Amino acid sequence: MATRPETQGEAGGAGAARAVELHPDAVQRARATGAGVVRHTPVLSSRTLSDRCGGVVALKAENLQRTGSFKLRGALSKLAALGDGCASGVVAASAGNHAQSLAYAARARGVPCEVFMPADAPVAKSEAAAALGAVVHVGGGSVDECLVAAGERAQAGGLAFVHPFDDLDVVAGQGTLGLELLDDVPDLARVVVPLGGGGLASGVAVAVKSARPEVEVIGVQAAACAAYPASLRAREPRAADAVLTIADGIAIKRPGALTLPLVQRWLDHVAVVEEDQIAEAMILLLERAKLVVEGAGAVGVAALLSGQVRPAAEGTTVAVLSGGNVDAGLLASIARRHETEAGRRLVLFTRVADRPGALARLLVCVASTGANLLEVGHVREGVDLHVRETGVELVLETRGTGHAERVRAALHDGGYDTRPPG
């Protein structure tokens, strides 16, 4: 479902978000400060997405950015704005990407860095921040709690606090991605960008629409942490329920006081996608585009695949892949789930006589179908079995739904009951 953000000129109550300005020149200055460190990431055409979505779709592969996400742009912009004000060090709170990027930027600028991360932050992200030289404090139930802790540390230690999104210097840095889109896509018509705190989406929108007002910019949130639709209606930041999501990079409890009015003014729509749609997008990008993209980075593609957002009728629609920092375990779990749903991974339970040779005969039957045996296990407890029977669970690799059905039929014809245990 898409929500149209109200503009600052429309009616609002006493709680309406105050006007916030970000001049396009600030984005140009941020681009200059990041030169030599920020990588100009490629825009890749996608025949698969174009065919499936009914329009010309390309991918801005920001997952290939140094540190694996767009956050480096904002971190470098903020350190440049701080100048000597960050000589004692910087501190931040983050679920992972901002922590890594600030650690990288601080190392590049030769200043100390500390980051506070929630207890459930991906281990790979906390380890990456530490490997980049940051002092990592892990604890707290949310990024909001970590923001409080980081603010207290900044005051106590004389460190410069760098907010992950609610800071105009950070937003200006994120907007440099939009300048690259203007450079690389002459017929740019629509940009679909992940929306968490709002720094990336608003920065890109300011950069793009200041130069070409006709280009649409659409933000996409995960339904599990979609604070913007309610906040846009209320015209003030509203908290979202804390729900576990695979899009942890945009799992922000509430919009920022600065980013909300920027989103209201500059974005054309906000769409919301579900967890299953995000997982499907991650797998499609992995299989077809050969790109590893985290859940937060894949929400734009999820919106296109699900029909929440349509490609522009003319010109190119670009989906921003904002990051690629995903735990290998989560990616493997999503891949296994996809294989099962696609009929390429089949899990069966059956019963065999508990005597020598019975399992071998079952496996011969499986082999005759051309299925590949991945796992086999005996199950003797927790299911209804005759005293002289044993349960067998098979995990098979098949060539798709049709082949999986033929495997089931062959086992049935061989006298094996493959109904789930009752």
CATH number of the domain where residue 28 is located: 3.40.50.1100
Q: Tell whether 222 and 125 lie within a shared domain.
A: no
**316-348 pLDDT, tens per residue?**
999 999 999 998 889 999 998 888 888 888 999
Q: What is the pTM of this model?
A: 0.85
Report whether 351 contacts 396 (CB < 8 A).
Answer: no
* CATH of residue 349: 3.30.70.260
Better-scored residue on pLDDT, 251 or 159 = 159
Q: Tell whether 359 and 308 lie within a shared domain.
A: no
Q: Which amino acid is at 402?
A: G
DSSP bridge pairs for 348: 394
Largest CA distance in the chain: 80
**178-209 pLDDT, tens per residue?**
999 999 999 999 999 999 999 999 999 999 99
- Check if 322 is active-site: yes
Domain edge (last residue) among 123, 147, 168: 168
Report whether 162 contacts 268 (CB < 8 A).
Answer: no
Q: Which pair of structure tokens corresponds to residue 36?
A: 């030599």
Better-scored residue on pLDDT, 312 or 249 = 312
Residue 331 domain flag: no
How does strand 135-138 pair with strand 216-222?
A: unpaired
pLDDT band at 56 (very low <50, low <70, confident <90, very high): very high
Q: Tell whether 44 and 80 lie within a shared domain.
A: no
Least confident of 5-19, 68-82, 119-133: 5-19
Rounded Cα gap, residues 58 and 316, in angstroms:
7
Domain edge (last residue) among 274, 293, 324: 324
Q: Which pair of structure tokens corresponds to residue 143?
A: 């990024």
Q: Tell whether 59 and 204 lie within a shared domain.
A: yes
Q: Tell whether 119 and 159 lie within a shared domain.
A: yes
- pLDDT of 242 above 90: no
Cite the DSSP H helix spans in 83-141.
Answer: 97-109, 123-131
Rounded Cα gap, residues 221 and 225, in angstroms:
7
**385-408 pLDDT, tens per residue?**
887 889 899 999 999 999 999 999
Q: 46, 126, 231, 322: which is the annotated catalytic residue?
A: 322
Rounded Cα gap, residues 382 and 367, in angstroms:
28
pLDDT band at 124 (very low <50, low <70, confident <90, very high): confident
Cα–Cα distance list, 210 to 187, 215, 216 (Å): 16, 10, 12
- Check if 94 is active-site: no
Q: Tell whether 56 and 183 lie within a shared domain.
A: yes
Question: Number of C-alpha atoms within 13 angstroms, CB side, residue 149?
Answer: 18
**347-375 pLDDT, tens per residue?**
999 999 989 999 999 999 999 999 999 99
Q: 60, 71, 125, 209: which is the annotated catalytic residue?
A: 71
Q: Tell whether 314 and 398 lie within a shared domain.
A: no
Least confident of 101-105, 114-118, 164-168, 334-338: 334-338
Structural domain for 194, as ranges: 2-69+169-324
Number of domains in the chain: 3
DSSP H or E segment with residue 35: none
Rounded Cα gap, residues 207 and 336, in angstroms:
40
- Can you tell me the mean pLDDT for 136-140? 90
